[in-house]
Every structure is written in structure tokens, then in C-alpha cells.
Amino acid sequence: MDLVEKDLKYIWHPCSQMKDYEELKPIIIERGEGVYLYGKDGKAYLDIVSSWWCNLLGHRNPTINAALIDQLGRLEHVIFANFSHEPAIALCEALMNIIPDGLSKFNFSDNGSAAVECALKMSFQYQYQTGHKEKTKFMCLTDGYHGETLGALAVGSMDLYAKMYRPMLMDTHQIEAPDCYRCPFGKKRDSCGCECFAYAEKAFADHGAETCAMIVEPLVQGSAGMRIYPPLYLKKLRALCDRYGVLLIADEIATGFGRTGKMFAFDHAGVSPDILCVSKGLTGGYLPMAITITTDKIYSAFYAEYSEGKAFMHSHTYSGNPLGCSAALAVQQVLREERILEKAAIRAGYLTERLNATLLDHPNVGEIRHIGLIHAIELVTDKQAKTGFEPGLRIGYQIYKKALEKGLILRPLGNVLYFNPPLTITEAELDEAIAICAEAIAEVLGS
Ligand SMILES: Cc1ncc(COP(=O)(O)O)c(C=O)c1O
């Protein structure tokens, strides 16, 4: 039995209809280097999606590798209740220099969904312990995505992931999200006054009193198809949350660490959330780690004599894992010393220009939207009407398969193709990705 047959015998792959694997077999990857992954047969694949958006600085980054090897020689793991270690403390110190103002307490977990669960429980308990027992509900945006556990699914609103499980999920208030490509107010993303914020104002007027927290993917609704909205929306949301005593949770799991051109998406708005969830790029995509970061004010509401029962009784076995912390520290070192964000900004401009020049005139390209190095190509049947392809046609998936044959991992989000590469990608590598993307589109949709 070869490796592919053995894989299919044992492994149930994530987010996959396994029957699809009859035609498109699993690709066995042997090694990675920079933006490339290499199959066992030696074929190179350009990882333009950063292996589910987590690989921040390229595969097998020498600085992160060295930090991990060094840490392996000392300590792999230790219980994090009542024990601590230098990498965790140094990491918090390093993050204090880059996170939005006012955030100062770090609660560790091991994946993005867990960080979101932690944020939800923390906000609920904070309200309860500060005299607001009536604040039990959560608000979120339509088309939001915050992970796959039951709490995270409840504040997410994409039917693709949540519909089956609705009977198991808590009720939430969903606010119509900004949809800048198909703006119901006929406005443009870069010049509007966030007229759609009226939906949020109405929801808060109706339900703000019973709401403990509102969660958002700031500026980019990733899983919904890299839907990008203006920073003004976050500024208004901050003010609205303050008015109604609602905590604001920033899910920067996908947007954190330079993905949007600034260190955090909230930095574009110049305001801070009450709770910040980070994961993915935190360890450069090396190890599963997440942190829910909050303010002294929220932390203080849990600080009391043990007998008062106010502690946050939330834990994960791998909280604060030293290997994860060492990788994350090395990521901070590379970001700082190699001036990664500055350099990525230059290549982001290059990508925008080349992608527009190559694809914007294609009859099925409705919009190419971008922020930082994130670039999304929305495919439509009719540019004028902005009509999407029937989901059953799986147009994005057909293009993905063609691109894969040519050595590009262009995993789509429905009708949206996107680039979200490691921040270290070069212009030549971007050229290669654009060329393959254009060929794959032409082979499926014509040129
Ligand atoms: C915005 C956002 N939140 C939460 C998650 C969930 O993270 P994880 O897959 O590590 O549970 C994701 C994953 O894609 C995400 O994009």
C-alpha cells in the first residue's frame, strides 16, 4: 500500500467531503522551504494561502527553527497553573510593545476557537461579577467566522459551518455585516460614511441592554470570502459598545501580526478592543497556540478571595506551552529585526498593481479587493449585476484543481480566490502565483 492509500485508509481530513478525494488524492508533503512546499515526488507547490493563513514568515524559517531546537534542549512542557517559564514571560513582554493600548493580561490556549471560547466566557463572567447579570447575550456580524467549537459557531453565522448544528447553539443577535462590494446604500468602501452602521445602532437599541459582548473579525471577514470593510466601522462600534456597556472582542486570529499591513487590524481604526484573540501567525504557523488578551479592568473583576468563587476556572492542558512560546518569541524577533511589515507593504503595492493589470478586465472578475498582502478575486457571471456563480458549480474548486496541477495552492472560499501569502514572499514568487492563477481561471472560464 502506498502512502496515499494508507492516508485514505486512516485519515478523515478537515473541512472536506472525503468523496472528493477519490478524484483529487491527498498530496503527501515531504518538506517546506520559504513559500514552497515539496511533495514526495519532488513537485513544488507555492503556498499562497499560508497553509490556512498561519504561515507568517515562510516554511522552515531559520530563526524559528533555531529557537525551537534551543528550547527543546531545555523544556518541552510544564503545567501552567502555579508554574511558569521564561519564554512565556518574555513573549508577553514582547507582545506588550505591539498590541493595542490598554491590553495587558494574557490567557493562553492552543487554537483559535479555544481563544474565542475563552473570550466569550470571560465577558459573560465579567458582566455577571460586575453587577450585570442581565447581560447574557452575544452580538456578532452576519457572515462572521470565529471557529468550529459550539460557542464559536454560535457567534459565527456562516450556514456552511453552523447550520447543521443550530439546535445545539446558543441564541445570538446577528447584525447585518458591511458588504462593500454589493453595498445596499450604493456607497464605495474607501469613501463611505459606514451608512450600514445603522444596522448595528438598531440592534444595540433593541438588545444592547441584555448583551455582554460583541465579537468581530476586524476589517476582513476572512471565511466569508475576504470581505473587506473600512476602519471607520470599528471606530463607531467602539463608541457604541461603550454607550451600552457591551465588551468589544476583536478576533484577530486571521488578521493579526501584519496581515492587513499594520500589526493588528484594529490599529487602522486607532481604537482598542476590550479583548483580543490571537493565534495562527502568533507562532508563525509552527505550533498550535492562541492567546486571549484583556485589560486590567476585566482581570480585576476576577481577582478576589478564593472563597468568593470569582476565579476564571478555564484551562487547557497545553496552555502556555514553552515550545509555542519560543516559536512566537522568534516570530517577534524576525518581524522586528527584519522589518518585515515595511517590506511587505512594498510587495503588497506590487501585488495590487500586477493582479489588477492581469485580471481586472477578465469578464468574470467582479472585484479585486485588498488590504495588506491579502488580495481577493471575486468571480461573477455578470460584472454589472455582480451575480455570483451557482455554488453547485464549484467554480472556485475547479480553478483550485487546475492551479494545483500547475503548482499553486489556491484554495478558494466559494466564488472567491485569494492570495494571503507569507509576508516574506518575493516579487518573483508573486509573479509566478499571478501567472498560474490567470492560467487556471482561463482554463475554467475562458480568457
Ligand atoms: C477569524 C478566525 N477566528 C477563529 C478561527 C478559528 O481558529 P482555529 O482554526 O485555530 O480554531 C479562524 C480560523 O480560520 C479564523 O479565521
pLDDT digits (tens, 9 = 90+) for 144-193: 999 999 999 999 988 889 999 999 999 999 999 999 999 999 999 999 99
Give the relative orientation of helices 322-337 and 86-96 as an angle to the nearest 10 degrees.
40
Check whether 297 has a pLDDT greater than 90. yes
- pLDDT, one tens digit per residue, over 81-94 is 999 999 999 999 99
Instruction: For 386-420, write each residue's pLDDT tens digit.
Output: 999 999 999 999 999 999 999 999 999 999 999 99
Distance from the alpha carbon of residue 437 to the mean position of ligand 1, in angstroms = 25
The Å distance, Cα 222 to ligand 1 centre, comes to: 9
pLDDT above 90 for 206: yes
pLDDT at 147 (0 to 100): 98
Question: Residue 54 C-alpha to ligand 1 middle, in angstroms?
Answer: 10
Instruction: Provide the pLDDT for residue 299.
Output: 98
Statement: residue 79 has pLDDT above 90: yes
d(CA 318, CA 324): 9
Q: Which atom of ligand 1 is nearest to the CA of 53?
A: 14
| Among 110, 113, 161, 260, residue to substitute to test ligand 1 (most atoms within 8 Å of Cβ) | 113
Q: Which atom of ligand 1 is nearest to the CA of 255?
A: 1
Q: What is the pLDDT of residue 1?
A: 79
As a whole number of angstroms, the longest Cα–Cα distance in the chain is: 70
145 marked as binding residue: yes
Between CA 32 and CA 65 the distance in angstroms is 12
Q: Which tens digit of pLDDT belongs to each residue from 40-68? A: 989 999 999 999 999 999 999 999 999 99
Cα of 319 from ligand 1 centre, angstroms = 17
Could you give the CA distance from residue 411 to residue 403 in angstroms, rounded to a whole number? Answer: 9
Q: What percent of the chain has pLDDT over 90?
A: 98
Angstrom distance (rounded) from CA 344 to CA 339: 9
User: Structure pTM?
Assistant: 0.98
- Distance, in Å, from the CA atom of 3 to the CA atom of 47, rounded to the nearest integer, reads 22
Average pLDDT for the chain: 97
Any residues with Cβ below 6 Å from ligand 1, and which? Answer: 111-113, 116, 145-147, 217, 222-223, 251, 253-254, 279
Domains 3-60+339-445 and 66-337 share a fold: no
Strands (E) across 222-289 are located at 227-228, 247-251, 275-278
The preferred substitution site among 51, 253, 255, 316 for testing ligand 1, maximizing ligand atoms within 8 Å of CB, is 253
**CATH class in words for 66-337:** alpha beta
Task: For the chain, give every domain's residue range.
Answer: 3-60+339-445, 66-337
User: Whole-angstrom Cα distance, residue 415 to residue 299?
Assistant: 42
Helix (H) or strand (E) holding 48: none
- pLDDT at site 50: 98
Number of the ligand 1 atom closest to the C-alpha atom of 111: 10
Q: Are 394 and 415 in contact (CB under 8 A)?
A: no
Q: Tell me, what amino acid is at 144?
A: G
3-60+339-445 topology per CATH: Aspartate Aminotransferase, domain 1 (3.90.1150)
How much is the pLDDT for 157? Answer: 82
Half-sphere exposure of 240 (CA within 13 A, CB side): 22
Mean pLDDT of 228-234: 98
What spacing in Å lies between the alpha carbon of 417 and ligand 1's midpoint? 18
